[in-house]
Amino acid sequence: MPRYLTVGAAQMGPIQKSHSRRDVVERLIAHMREARRMGCELVVFPELTLTTFFPRWWMTDQAEIDAYFEREMPSNQTAPLFTEAKAMGIGFSLGYAELIEQDGRIRRFNTSILVERDGRIVGKYRKVHLPGHAEHEPQREFQHLEKRYFEVGDLGFPVSRAFGGIMGMCICNDRRWPETYRVMGLQGVEMVLLGYNTPIHNPPAPEQDEHAWFHNQLSMQAGAYQNGTWVVGVAKGGTEEGVPSVADSMIIAPSGKVVARAQGVGDELIVHRCDLDAGKTYKTTIFNFAAHRRPEAYKLIVERAGALEPPETVAFERSHDILIDAPPQAVMDYVSNPNSWPEWLAASHRIDAANRPLVTGETFHERWRTRTGEVQLDWRVTHAEQGKLWMAETDTGFIGRIVARYSFEPVGKGTRYTRTVINPARPKAPTEDMIRRMDEEAAIGLANIKANVERRQRGE
Ligand code: CDT
C-alpha cells in the first residue's frame, strides 16, 4: 500500500525591502488556498520567507538588523498563516530569521519550522552551513553576510515523525553538502524540505554563475538518490533588490528524478503526490546503509573540516651489484635469511627472525642504526621466487616505505647479485653526501656478502 503525501512547493517571487510582513503573509495565504484546491497536505515555503534577503546588506545598527528577525512564532503578523493553514488542515514548513534569548544572551539563527496539519510546531531546524562572510566587503556588488547575522545552527539535522512519514529540513547552502542529507538519511528520512535564496551571481567566483541552475539541481538530486528520500526544494527567485536569484523550485523523487518543476521565477505552486514508500527500494538495496556503509573508513569526515593535502614526496631508488662465485640459489639462501644481515651490513645489528631463508608473507624485526639513533623496522616478505628474486618491505616514520629488492641472475657458474633499495615516497630527496654514504655502505655490504657466500661454498 503506497503512503501518499501530496506536497506543494510554494515558490516565492522576490520580496523587496518595502514589502511588509503583512504583504508577505497575504501571499503565503494565497499559496495555501491554491494548495487546498490542489489537494496538498503539506506546503513548503522558502528560506527567510518573511522578508527580503537582508544578508545582502552591511548593517551596523542592531535595531535595523533585528527588525528582520522573529522573536516569536507565530507572532501577531504570522498568526493568520497558522490560523488559515489549520482551518484548511494543511501543514507547512517556513523559513525565517529567528531571535531568541537564551541564558541571558541574544542568539540569532536562520531557521525553518515544520507545522503539522493541526497547527502544532513539530520540527525545528537551524541552518548549519552558513555561506558568505562576516566582514564588510564593499567591493562586492552585493554582500552575503550570513556569517555576520546568524550563529551556526545548534540542533544538528533532526528529523520528525510527521505527515505519516519521517521528515527532515535543511536550508539553502546546506543542500550542497552531502553530509546534510546523509545525517538525515541515517535517521531514515523520507522527505527533506528545503528552501533557498540563491543569487545567480557569486561575486567571488563569477565563473560559476552559468552553472547556478545545474548545481542547484545536481546537489538536490544527488541528496535524494543517495539517501532514498524525496527532496522538496523551494526558491525565493526572481530579481530582489536588483539581485537576480535562481528560481527552479523542484520536487525530486528518491530515484533522483525531478517530478515537478516551477516554470517561472515568481510566486508559483508546484504539486506532487509523493509516495513516502518510494525510497524503500533504495534503502533496502544499493543504499542499505547497515549492509554497505563503512564508517571506520570515513573518520576524516568528522575529524577534519578543511582539506589537508598529503605532503609532497619523492621516489628514490639505488641499485648495486656484484659478481659472486656461487649459484643463484646459494646467494639467495644467504641474503634471504635476515639473520645474515648483521654479518654484512653494519647498520643492521639485531634481527628477530626464524634462522632460515624467509618466504612470502613471513615477517621479521630489525634494529637498525641511523645517524640520529636506533629504530625498529618491522619487515614483511612480499616476494620469494627461489633462485631469482626476493623482496621485503617495511614502513618508517622518517623516509616512508623501504623496499629491499634482491635479484639473482646466473652468470656462467656464478651469480650477478643486485641489491636495490627503493623509497617510493621520501619526504625529501637524499643529498649527494647521503647517496655517497649509501654507495660506500653498499660496496662494503656486497663485498661482505660475496666473501661470506663464497666461503660457505668452499665449505669453510
Ligand atoms: N542563502 C544561501 O545559503 N545562499 C547560498 C549562496 C551561496 S553564495 C555565497 C546558496 O548556497 O545558494
- How does pLDDT run across 21-78, given as a tens digit for each residue? 999 999 999 999 999 999 999 999 999 999 999 999 999 999 999 999 999 999 999 9
Pocket of ligand 1 (CB under 6 A): 47, 131-132, 144, 172-173, 176, 196-198, 202
Peptide bond into 131 cis (omega under 30): no
- Please tell me the predicted confidence (pLDDT) of residue 370: 86
Whether 269 and 11 have beta carbons less than 8 Å apart is answered as yes
- Please tell me the predicted confidence (pLDDT) of residue 341: 97
Per-residue pLDDT tens digits for 145-203: 999 999 999 999 999 999 999 999 999 999 999 999 999 999 999 999 999 999 999 99
Whether 96 and 73 have beta carbons less than 8 Å apart is answered as yes
Closest residue by Cα to residue 438 from 404, 401, 397, 409: 404
SS3 289: helix
- Please tell me the predicted confidence (pLDDT) of residue 372: 85
Specify the pTM: 0.84
Cα dihedral 101, 105, 107, 113 in deg (nearest 10) = -30
Domains of the chain are: 4-303 (3.60.110.10), 314-457 (3.30.530.20)
Q: Does residue 274 carry a catalytic annotation? A: no
Closest residue by Cα to residue 14 from 68, 58, 51, 44: 51
C-alpha cell at 160: 520528525
Q: Does residue 172 carry a catalytic annotation? A: yes
Measure 172 CA to ligand 1 centroid, in angstroms: 6
- Please tell me the predicted confidence (pLDDT) of residue 1: 83
Q: Which atom of ligand 1 is nearest to the CA of 132?
A: 9
Q: What is the rounded distance in angstroms from the CA atom of residue 444 to the CA atom of residue 451?
A: 11
**Which residues, 6 or more positions from 417, have their beta carbon under 8 angstroms from its beta carbon?**
321, 322, 323, 324, 331, 335, 406, 407, 408, 446, 449, 450
Other Cβ atoms within 10 Å of 157 Cβ, number? 22
Residue 206: phi and psi, rounded to 5, are -60, -20
**Which residues, 6 or more positions from 57, have their beta carbon under 8 angstroms from its beta carbon?**
142, 143, 145
Which residue lies with its CA nearest to atom 8 of ligand 1?
Answer: 202
Measure 236 CA to ligand 1 centroid, in angstroms: 12
- Please tell me the predicted confidence (pLDDT) of residue 460: 82
Cα dihedral 408, 409, 414, 420 in deg (nearest 10) = -50
Taking 50 as the pLDDT cut, the residues of the chain under it are none
Other Cβ atoms within 10 Å of 311 Cβ, number? 9
